[in-house]
Structure 1
Amino acid sequence: MAAAIEVEKKKLKQPPLALHYLGDRVLRQPAKRIAKVDGDIRELARKMLQTMYSEDGIGLAAPQVAVNKQMLVVDPDPEDAATPALVLINPKIVRASKEICTGQEGCLSIPGVYLDVVRPAAIEVSFKDETGRPQKISASDLLARVIQHEMDHLNGIMFVDRVENALALNQELQKGGFSAKDVNKIA
């Protein structure tokens, strides 16, 4: 399934969208469903992809660029020009594996902070693509992790909220110049 949005996988000196960082209220608001997939939504997806590549990311959710919409872009292989990026509009996890795995995560909204997070190893996601067509994909490993991480953003959740090792969390946040008071611990 090739993306209808062609974006060169390269860094731009000036990304089209500004990232928001841990502590910014905009990252904690639940995103709204997208009623209609149109040219404006495709343009937003294009700008999100350009911003993600410019910031060396592999995923970006609309709330991270202060757009309160349920959309994310994902490209777990940004070095390979042949691998198309995914645009997920109104994504919903319809199935998650019982098998869980721990993996290190980082976030464009918390630069320099990398910590272990436990998530389901595989998921099935339904969403609309950038043409508005319903899609369903099965994802495992890195792709599953990235989609779950970005979908959390749509619910005002950040990966640091899921970190179980409080000591490592506090050390990493401090090192990155972030405050632990901006973490909303998920029980």
Structure 2
Amino acid sequence: MTVMDIRKVGDPVLRQVAEPVTVFDAELHRLVDDLGETLAQSRGAGLAAPQIGVGLRVFAINPDLPGNDLGLDHLINPGLEFPDDEEQYGPEGCLSIPGIYLDTRRRLNVVARGLTKHGDPVQIVGAGLLARCVQHETDHLDGVLFIDRQDADGQERLLATLREAAWAGTRLQVSPH
């Protein structure tokens, strides 16, 4: 296992739609392990493969998140369903946008179906923080950042702040999502 560098906002890989995983081999197992190790080192809630420069539909989640009764630490090729229309509005951050936390609207409840690194089907039924994390990481696989979920004024204020950050890239943009 290796702790990988986390790509920051402005890196083009964060805006690309990740490709589905079709091969479940040792290389995929290493990717999942590297994601988990990098996530543990960063003490985050989740980390998607594009955040370490890999354009595959894989993300790691903290197995200790409240509601993660199965203790799942990753999901491959996730598909999301929402059992109701309930929403939550609260603070959200991103390892690719360090130090920035914004109140973000997400669905309160989620059912995520996908695969393990062995190709076995798995399902996560989550609410609250677990639901927020699964939605946030799935957004990463679609090239969407949580700043894209802010209103126009909030996006402009955030972009101005990010442009001044020492770590920020030069290609800062907001997605139309």
TM (norm. structure 1) is 0.81
Question: Is contact 1:170-1:180 (8 Å) kept?
Answer: no
Deviations 1:93-137 (A, max 9, x none): 033530111121100000001001111100111100122101122
Question: Is contact 1:30-1:155 (8 Å) kept?
Answer: yes
Q: Which runs of 5+ in 2 are unaligned?
A: none
1:69 to 52, 56, 67: 56
Q: Counterpart amino acid of 1:107?
A: C
Question: Is contact 1:173-1:180 (8 Å) kept?
Answer: no
Q: Which runs of 5+ in 1 are unaligned?
A: 1-6, 8-14
* Percent pairwise identity: 32
Deviations 1:12-38 (A, max 9, x none): xxx621111000101111000000222
Give the whole-Å Cα distance in 2 for the aligned partners of 1:94 and 1:167.
Answer: 28
Deviations 1:129-162 (A, max 9, x none): 1221011221111000001000000010000111
SS in structure 2 of the partner of residue 156 of structure 1 = coil
Q: Which residue of 2 aligns with 1:184?
A: 174
Q: Which residue of 2 aligns with 1:138?
A: 125
Q: Which residue of 2 aligns with 1:92?
A: 79
Q: Counterpart amino acid of 2:124?
A: I
Q: How big is the alpha-carbon RMSD for the aligned residues of Structure 1 and Structure 2?
A: 2.6
Q: Which residue of 2 aligns with 1:153?
A: 140
Give the whole-Å Cα distance in 2 for the aligned partners of 1:173 and 1:77.
Answer: 35
Question: Is contact 1:160-1:183 (8 Å) kept?
Answer: no
Count of residue pairs the alignment pairs up:
171
Structure 1 ranges of 4+ moved more than 4 A: 178-181
C-alpha spacing 1:115/1:169, structure 2 compared with 1 (3 Å): farther
